[in-house]
Chain A
């Protein structure tokens, strides 16, 4: 297999990103340096429950949103 087939192209917060095949949501959070308990994740408009981060593997063309709480009124 060549290099390309081992990576998965997806979008994270609207930005294109490539991760290794088999990367989970937990792996993605680790990759971008975010503590799971401080964020929420949506995958293709569906909430990914925190308890499922490790089992949820990322697929090509996934649209991932990672959000957190910010100052607001």
Chain B
């Protein structure tokens, strides 16, 4: 029998393979100890990070790297807080120097209350980053036309939002997520909007290669427990996708035989 496990069912982005299909963010945690414990429990191998000025007034302040080792986890630096192509390129050049690799997450956001991906700015920034030698995993709208354009441009993964960042509303537009999955030859990840394990399972059942979760774990009452739930949810969704779900019917179909009934 062919047993599917995360180990023999990896996904690959930019030539790197990962057994875990859960990518987790490192933001919003109450402290670094909880960050480290939740990431460990999630089983994630890739973690997103932001790039910021060092606080020079508190030189003994703990650093993320001391708790979440860049040797153990693949750091995926993001462009959070950048609103132009220039800012994104500048930020990720620094990230490349700090980390020494060129796999990055591009996100250019519009204003609150949606923080919806600014696709015009995202396309410009993606072009500039690719030209500069970066391998770009791109946060984008649930828009198959824009997604295709980003893929054709050379982005190494397409990451449409399930719902606004931190909203916990789950996958709001499953049809378009599915259309993006069907048309893409690079990995597709639902990034943003996951609220609980069900949402991650659902995204994986649609056929996503992986799911990116931050707030749903970091802001849960028990982040470590939710990290375990997300791990199980992502695995369940992947297995269900591989298994092939039954069609939906508008009628019943008995599970027990109608023959051999006692009379």
Contact = CB atoms under 8 A, between A and B. Distances in A.
Interface of A: 12-15, 32-34, 38-42, 45, 47-50, 65-73
A29 to B, nearest CB: 10
Contacts, number: 102
Contacts of A34: 54, 59
Given A69-B63, A70-B27, A73-B50, 18 more contacts: A40-B97, A42-B93, A50-B97, A67-B52, A68-B52, A68-B63, A68-B64, A68-B65, A69-B64, A69-B65, A69-B98, A70-B64, A72-B25, A72-B26, A72-B49, A72-B80, A73-B28, A73-B192
Chain B interface main SS type: mixed
A26 B250 CA distance: 71
Contacts of A69: 49-51, 63-65, 70, 75, 77, 95, 98-99
Interface residues of B, number: 37
Contact of A71 (B49, B90, B99): B49
Contacts of B90: 42, 45
B165 interface: yes
Contacts of A66: 53-54, 56
Interface string B11-38: 0000000000000011111000001000
Contacts of A15: 56
Interface centre among B26, B49, B94, B95 (most CB of A within 10 A): B94
